Structures are given as structure tokens and as C-alpha cells.
Amino acid sequence: MLLKQPQLPTPAATGAVPDWLRFDRISKRFGAFTALNGVDLTIRRGEFVCLLGPSGCGKTTLLRVLAGLTAQDSGQLYLGGRDISRLPPAARDYGIVFQSYALFPNLNVADNLAYGLRTDRASKARRVGELLQLVGLPGCEHKYPAELSGGQQQRVALARALAQSPSLLLLDEPLSALDAQVREHLRRELRQLQQKLGVTTLMVTHDQDEALTLADTIAVMNHGVIEQVGSPEMIYHQPASRFVANFVGRANWLPVEVSEQGEVRLAGITLALPATALPQGWADMGWPSTAELFCRPEDVQVAPHWAPGDNGLMAFVERVDFLGNVRRALLTLVTARQISLWAELGPNDAGLEALVPGQLVPLHLPANRLRLFAEAA
């Protein structure tokens, strides 16, 4: 390890301070527009958290409030037990990488990195060398930002944010200005670096792939509130709201009927559903007569031959799109042709050969991948 992080938390210690960073009812309005509507969020020490959401959802505003660059209208911020709600940016102990990187164009890389350092010349040079080694750009000291590629500029911005060994790293869409291949590469490096340094990281992104691959925890935001906080698996497989289900990944929405006893029927066939698939409170408050069933296209299983079992249906293949690594098929249910759903099959799936337009195929909806939502308003 090249970098000395004085308060480097070990992985075991990361769980020790569950609310090391805490947003408490943060609200912010811009004129008539509510950017943040009473946001609560806690972050563990050493955790990598992604704020994920569409543009205008308030994620960048939340980051800027934490950074002290935008003043919240109400609410408190706590970092390590300290109330930082009213501190100016410099007193909050974080490093930040902006979407534009905001490198100083007339200063070379070394001067950019040393900008905030207040030590003697020799230790500055040593620190700059360490930082460049850390981000994989050794020997770039004397280049100007304009002489670097986008990916290199991004690394310099990251190194500058880490220069003062902050306990918190803030990233505002740091990869969005890069092309796809560089982005994927830097994504991996960013994750490795974060784990190596153990620095608590809050990243803003609108790219779900980025959030799913990078984060320990994802907070999905919409209209100024956090809709769901959870691990990437949880966000993907157990979305807490219709918005999360639609925003992360693709979704089938199937209309179902619900009996008074809570039996769920899709096109006349009763489905087996685990209790976790039902929204909380439905059992107590009474069942609605209709609802919508959520199922990811890749969870729809197409079999080459009919076999008895739960949640089995017959469907016609309407259309098949070849997408390289997968085939995506539009299916309609035999007993209710107006109900259609997408299925995605990989090259090793057994049912792949059966996907021919016009073909009748058996399909299976795995009970643990289904979730029930109230009908869209």
C-alpha cells in the first residue's frame, strides 16, 4: 500500500459504525421546484453508496448539500457523530470529483494535485508521486490537462480529490463523459481503489449498470425522495416500488386477478407466490381485486417441452430479436392473447431452439422472482 490512511478501517470494522454519515430530513426547494423532500439516509464507514436516479430526481442536489456547495432549507447532516450541517465545504473533510472534472487547465498535473497541500516542496512532490502511482499515471507530473485523454483527466481529478486523504469521497457522475470501453475499465479500477483505501464513497449516477457493478448499497431516488435503499441484488430482484422496478433493468407487467382469500390468478391460472412477493399490509388491509405482476424478462423460463409444475403457462412466440448475447422474444399467452410478455434467453438456455415465431412454447415463471404491485394509477 502506497498511501497511508491514518484511520483506515478494516473490513470487519466497517459495520461497527452503521450511521457514520447520516442525512436527517434534508429538504431543498428551488423556487417552486422541490429538489429534496425530507431525505433520510445513513451510510456505513467504508461503504460504497450510489445515488441512482433519472435527471432531476435530486441526487446531485443531495451530493452538493453534503459537500456544502448548496445550502439545505432544512434538515441536518452528521459525519462521524459531528453535526456538519452548517460547516463550509473546507471544514467537512471530503474530496470531490465533478462530472466536468474541473481540473485547473493552466496548471500541470503535479500542481493540480498539490493545489490543496500545505506542506514543503519535497513532501508535495512525494505525495504527488504517490497519488499518480495510485491512479496508474506515474510520470505524468508535467503534463497539462489538455494533453491528457478523458480517462486520464478523470484519474487526475480522482487523485486530486484523494490528495488530502479525506475520510469521504464524493463522485458526481465521474464516468459519464467517457466512452463505453474506457468507462467499463475505469469502473473496475475505481472499485478496486475504493476497496484498497477503504474510503467511504458516495457516487451520483444515472447509469444503472454503473450502480449495480460498483456499489455496496444503492439508493434509488425519484422526485426528491429515496424510493429504496439496498444491495444491488435487492434493488434488482426485489424492487420496493414500481419506479425502482422500471428504472433498474427491464420489467414485464402482467395483469392479474386477486381473490378475496389472496389467491393470484394470471389468465385463469392460479400462481404460487411466496409471501415476500406481496406488498406489506395487503393481507391486513384487504386484497384489491386486480393487481400487476412484475417479472424480469430473463426470469421468464421457456422450456423445449411441457413439464408439469407450478406457474406453468403456454404461450405463442410472436417475435424474436437477436441481440448478440441474448435473444429477446415477445410472447402472448394462449389463454389470453391480449397479455404479452418479454422473455430473454441466453445461448445456453434449453428453450432457445424453441423460439421460432408462430411456435407454441411452454413457459415457467419462477415463484421467487415474482412480485406483486398495485395497479398503476
Partner 1 sequence: MKALRFWLEAGEAAVPLWSPDQRVARGLGWLAAIGLTLFIALPLLAILLQAVIDSESGQLSLAPVQAVLASPGFLDSLLGSLTVSLATVALVLPTALVFAFALTRSRMPGRGLFKLLALSPLLAPSLMPGISLVYLFGNQGLLKSWLGDASIYGPIGIVLGEAFYTFPHALLILLTALAVADARLYEAAETLGASRLRRLLTVTLPNARYGLISAGLVVFTLAMTDFGVAKVIGGQYKVLALEAYKQVIGQQNFGKGAVIGLMLLLPAVLSLLVERWVAGSRSASLGGRSVAFHPPENRWRDGALWLFCGGVLIGLLALLGVAMAASFIKLWPYSLELTLAHYDFDQMDGGGWQAFRNSVQMAAWTALVGTLGVFGVAYLLEKMPLPPLARQICRTLALLPMAVPGLVLGLGYIFCFNHPANPLHGLYGSLAILVLATVAHFYTTAHLTISTALRQLDGEIEAVSATLCRPFWVTVWRVTLPICLPALFDVARFFFVSALTTVSCVIFLYTPDTVLAGVAVLNMDDAGETAGAAAMATLIVATALLASLLLSAAGSLLNRRAQAWRGQPH
Cβ closest to partner 1, residue 91 vs residue 272? 91
- Residues composing the chain: 377
Torsion of CA 327, 236, 180, 298, to 10 degrees: -10
Cβ closest to partner 1, residue 30 vs residue 306? 30
Measured CA to CA, the distance from residue 27 to residue 359 in angstroms comes to 54
Distances (CA, A) of 349 to 298, 318, 320: 10, 19, 15
| 107: DSSP letter | S
Please say whether the beta carbons of 131 and 124 come within 8 A. Answer: no
Cβ closest to partner 1, residue 183 vs residue 327? 183
- Shortest distance in whole angstroms from residue 295 CB to partner 1: 41
- Shortest distance in whole angstroms from residue 73 CB to partner 1: 6
Cβ closest to partner 1, residue 60 vs residue 205? 60
Cβ closest to partner 1, residue 107 vs residue 303? 107
**Neighbour-count burial for 165-195, b at 16+ CB within 10 Å, e otherwise:** bbbbbbbbbbbeebeeebbeebbeebbebbe
Cβ closest to partner 1, residue 71 vs residue 374? 71
Please say whether the beta carbons of 236 and 212 come within 8 A. Answer: yes
Measured CA to CA, the distance from residue 234 to residue 62 in angstroms comes to 23
Residues making contact with partner 1 (CB under 8 A): 28, 67-74, 85-92, 94-96, 98, 100, 102, 104-108, 115-116, 118, 144-150, 153, 160-161, 163-164
The beta-strand segments (E) located in the chain are 21-30, 33-43, 48-52, 74-79, 82-83, 94-97, 168-172, 200-205, 217-222, 225-230, 252-258, 264-266, 269-271, 290-295, 301-302, 312-322, 327-333, 340-345, 360-364, 371-373
Distances (CA, A) of 209 to 97, 163, 218, 248, 345: 20, 28, 11, 9, 19
Residue 286: all three cell numbers together:
384487504
Cβ closest to partner 1, residue 150 vs residue 312? 150
Cβ closest to partner 1, residue 148 vs residue 293? 148
- Shortest distance in whole angstroms from residue 117 CB to partner 1: 9
- Shortest distance in whole angstroms from residue 68 CB to partner 1: 5
Measured CA to CA, the distance from residue 338 to residue 318 in angstroms comes to 12
- Shortest distance in whole angstroms from residue 320 CB to partner 1: 36
83 bridge partner residues: 78
Please say whether the beta carbons of 219 and 50 come within 8 A. Answer: yes
- Shortest distance in whole angstroms from residue 142 CB to partner 1: 9
Cβ closest to partner 1, residue 72 vs residue 205? 72
- Shortest distance in whole angstroms from residue 285 CB to partner 1: 39
Cβ closest to partner 1, residue 77 vs residue 226? 77
- Shortest distance in whole angstroms from residue 83 CB to partner 1: 12
- Shortest distance in whole angstroms from residue 46 CB to partner 1: 21
| Range 208-213 contact pairs with CB under 8 angstroms and sequence separation of 24 or more | 208/52, 208/247, 208/248, 208/249, 210/50, 210/175, 210/183, 211/50, 211/52, 211/248, 212/236, 212/248, 213/187
Measured CA to CA, the distance from residue 204 to residue 58 in angstroms comes to 10
- Shortest distance in whole angstroms from residue 317 CB to partner 1: 41
